[in-house]
Structure formats: structure tokens, C-alpha cells
Amino acid sequence: MLYYLLAVIVLIFDQLTKWLIVKNMVIGQSTELIPNILYFTSSRNRGAAWSILEGQRFFFFIITAVVLVIVIYYMQKMGRFKPFLGTALGLVIGGTLGNFIDRLFRGEVVDFIHVYIFKYSYPIFNVADSSLVIGVILILIYMFIEEKKEKKHG
């Protein structure tokens, strides 16, 4: 199905970028892309966002499995008939699998997108995280729109 293809494309792009970073940069090395805003910094994370739950690999496998089951259930139930929701779910699947593969084969997640927001160094993340966050935001927008429709039509 189309939205699973999107997930596969995200997954391939995520793994490709991580492979290039691992191959061409040493951990800690940083490349300036946009001065004071955007850098590629090779980093590893054994935790989740902001390195929470550092090293809890078993927990991450459980959470990943739960996330995938829920998202695939909604993809089969609703996502495949609704392009907006299907795209959002596809992005979440792609991002989840991207980080899962890292956790499975590397024991840690490769991060490299380093953004400074007003001098604050935002946690270094990767394509999979971006896809996850965008997917989650789109799902929230979808739910908000659905709720508005419900209220309107009673």
C-alpha cells in the first residue's frame, strides 16, 4: 500500500544518511552548514529524546513494538482510506523503524542533525526523529480537524 511505501522511503533515507555519517565522520566531529544555526555533528544516543531512559534497550524494543502495532492497526482501520492520516502514520512507521534498526544492530541511535535555536543547542537528532515528530504533529492536526467536524455535524 502507498503509505507503507512512504514508510520504506523514509526508512531508506534515514539509514542512508546515518550510514554516510558513520562512514565519513568521527563521533564529536561537526560540519558547519549554516553558521550559528545548522551543523552536522556525529553523535550517538542510547536513550530516547534528550537521552532519557539511557541504555534501556529492552524497554525501547517493547515501546517500539507497541507503537508499531497501534499505528499499523489504525493504518488498516482508517489510514488507508484517508490520505492525510495515512501519510502521518506512514511517517511514524518509517521513523520508528529507522531508530529501531539502529537500536537492534548498533545498540545505539546515530544522530547528526544539530540545530541551534537562539544560541540554545537543541538535542542532536536524525531523519527518523524528524519523520516521527512530523508524523505525530500531523496525527494531532487530523484529530483536531475530526473533532471540529464532529462538533459541527453533531
Ligand X SMILES: CCC[C@@H]1OC(=O)[C@@H](C)C[C@H](C)CCCCC(=O)CCC[C@@H](CC)/C=C/C=C(\COC)CC[C@@H](O)[C@@H](O)C[C@H](O)CNC1=O
Binding site for ligand X (CB under 6 A): 45, 48-50, 60, 63-64, 67, 96, 99, 109, 111, 123-126, 129-130, 132-133, 136
CB of 24 to ligand X, least distance (A): 19
Which of 98, 129, 132, 139 is catalytic? The answer is 129
Residue 116 phi, psi dihedral angles, 5° rounding: -100, 120
Query: Quick check: 87 and 136 in contact, CB under 8 A?
Result: no
Nearer to ligand X by Cβ, of 72 and 123: the residue is 123
22 close to 112: Cβ distance less than 8 angstroms: no
Q: Note if 129 is an active site residue.
A: yes
State which residue, 9 or 49, has the beta carbon closest to ligand X. 49
Q: Which is nearer to ligand X, 48 or 151 (CB)?
A: 48
Q: Which amino acid, 113?
A: I
Q: Which residue is listed with cell 529524546?
A: 49
CB 67 within 8 A of CB 96: yes
Give the integer Cα–Cα distance in Å for 111 and 122: 12
What is the smallest separation between the CB atom of 122 and ligand X, expressed in angstroms?
Answer: 7
Q: Annotated catalytic sites, by residue? A: 111, 129
